[in-house]
Amino acid sequence: MFRRLTVSALLVLGMAACQPIDKNLEAEDSRNPHFKKAESYTEAKNYVEAVREYEAALQANPNVATAHYELGRIYGEKLGDEISSMYHFSKFLELRPTSEKRESVQALLDNAKFSLATKLPNSPVANAEMFARLQSENANLKRELEEVQSRVARLDQQQQNTAAAITTPAPSAPVATAPTASVEAPKATPAAPVAHPATPAPAAAAVVPVAPSTAPTATPAATAVTEARSHTIAKGDTLWKIARKYYKGDVNANMDKIKAANASQVDFTKPLKLGTVLVIP
């Protein structure tokens, strides 16, 4: 009986020894069944399942360093887990200290450490990064402010040029109305012959035509200047600015004067429209 048990045990051991060992589990490429599945999951962007297959490869053979390398990349680049990425990169360097990938893996490990440091609260790296960002934003704001100031200066210059172009024709208006005054003046001369026969008051007869001749000449000239002076609303104009430009003294009173002169065509309760021509009394 004892001999039979011994023979049976030897047969079982012999059969186990004769079974081939799956060498593919030691492979670090597509021959490893776990690697095949992990690669297919990675191509499908199913990184969670890819991690499971690489972890299964390590459980079958802890010395498969390439699995550590791939896990380090997936955790760091795809899943944002810097701690797991650092662990697997460190394991790869431990298992393959003379690998051709050593420098690149060390760089990836350093990047994972730096990325983790920036996420820690009150980290010197995070504070330095924030300070650099604030400096950059401050420089951008200064540059934008200078551009805005330059643009405002150009607009002010354009408004001044436009105002000068609008106001320059005003002096020519009295010249156009001058003939009317000169024409009216001779009309008063016929009154002089009528007054000459009256001997008691020759001087009074001469004075009478002079007074009406001077009054009409002043009135048309004043009305011509008033009608000729106008202002076209440009960008940035306000009623206050216009009153300050054309008058001195009480700005509010001058604003009321402009409103009264243009009340029939402009609604001053609303914003001034560009291009509107205002009469400046």
Task: Give the domain ranges of the chain.
Answer: 23-119, 171-279
Confidence of residue 265 (pLDDT cuts 50, 70, 90): confident
**23-119: in CATH 1.25.40.10:** yes
CA proximity to 164, closest of 80, 64, 232, 243: 232
Q: What is the pTM of this model?
A: 0.38
Query: In whole angstroms, what is the distance from residue 224 CA to residue 175 CA?
Result: 10
Q: What is the per-residue pLDDT for 25?
A: 76
CATH topology for 171-279?
A: Membrane-bound Lytic Murein Transglycosylase D; Chain A (3.10.350)
Indicate the range of 2-6, 24-28, 31-35, 121-125 predicted with least confidence: 2-6
Task: Taking residues 145-153, report their average pLDDT.
Answer: 88
Q: Rounded to the nearest 5 degrees, what angle is found at the Cα of 133, between the Cα atoms of 129 and 138? A: 150
> By the 8 A CB rule, do 49 and 85 touch?
no
Residue 145 is which amino acid?
L
